[in-house]
Amino acid sequence: MNATTQSQSIWHTLLAELRPAASLFLALTLITGAAYPLLITGIAQGLFPHEANGSLILKDGKTVGSELIGQPFSDAKYLWGRPSATGPQPYNALASSGSNLGPLNPALVDTVKARIAEERTANPAQTGLVPQELVTASASGLDPHISPGAARWQVARIAQVRGLPAERVQAIIEACSEQPAFGLFGEARVNVLQVNLALDALK
């Protein structure tokens, strides 16, 4: 076998081995990169359109937020959520993270002390311990919920500022509360944004 014939034989062998590999690569690309995502997206849009589109909250036809991402509230008339350590602004979904500061880090200790002082000043009617979640950020920095206990801790302030009976504020908090899934999974929680929208909707 001369050199030319040997070269042609090697080339044909190489093509024979590459052809099925290339065909499999293209097939898997179409299945996993196009067909499967389109199928799952179609099922999600058909069965769970609210969740598939970000669990958005609408007010007067306009998007005001998501049930899954918190927003900063500092006005005394609102329910306050958990602090966020995301940058460059709080609850930045593009930079989900915690502060990564250890429990003995002086910067974290000073930050928590400042938050405790702020909560004490804003809620003078409360003499008990400040709920931990109101002074510490979560790992994601995006928490839209607080516990029912942390929400109740703020009822007196909100009621006084808005001139409402405390029972009315508590009723709104309970209406915006979510129970553990199937009564087993997760904890009872209150959606901060939904409470504040309901408070603003009061006549």
Q: Name which of 100, 45, 90 is nearest 65 in CA terms.
A: 90
Q: Name which of 143, 166, 60 is nearest 97 in CA terms.
A: 143
103 and 40 within one domain: no
Last residue of a domain, one of 50, 67, 82: 50
59 and 38 within one domain: no
75 and 9 within one domain: no
97 and 60 within one domain: yes
181 and 86 within one domain: yes
163 and 93 within one domain: yes
Q: Name which of 81, 116, 85 is nearest 190 in CA terms.
A: 81
Distance CA 66, CA 172 (A): 19
Residue 144: count other Cβ atoms within 10 Å of its Cβ. 22
List phi, psi (to 5°) of 67. Answer: -65, -15
Q: What is the pLDDT of residue 61?
A: 84
Number of domains the chain is built from: 2
35 and 80 within one domain: no
13 and 40 within one domain: yes
Q: Decide if pLDDT at 156 tops 60.
A: yes
Strand extents, DSSP E, 15-100: 56-59, 62-66
45 and 132 within one domain: no
pLDDT band at 51 (very low <50, low <70, confident <90, very high): confident
pLDDT band at 32 (very low <50, low <70, confident <90, very high): very high
Residue 194: count other Cβ atoms within 10 Å of its Cβ. 21
Distance CA 80, CA 191 (A): 10
Q: What is the pLDDT of residue 1?
A: 55
Q: What pLDDT digit, counting tens, does each position of 54-102 carry?
A: 898 888 888 999 989 999 999 999 999 999 989 889 999 888 988 888 8
pLDDT band at 164 (very low <50, low <70, confident <90, very high): very high
29 and 69 within one domain: no
59 and 45 within one domain: no
Q: What is the pLDDT of residue 112?
A: 94
Q: Decide if pLDDT at 104 tops 60.
A: yes
Q: What is the pLDDT of residue 100?
A: 85
Mean pLDDT of 15-36: 89
Domain that includes residue 25, residue range = 3-50
Q: What is the pLDDT of residue 185?
A: 85
Q: Decide if pLDDT at 5 tops 80.
A: no
Q: How remote is the C-alpha of 28 from its chain's centroid? A: 33
Last residue of a domain, one of 13, 30, 50: 50
- Measure the CA angle with vertex 71, ends 203 and 198; round to 5°: 20
pLDDT band at 3 (very low <50, low <70, confident <90, very high): low
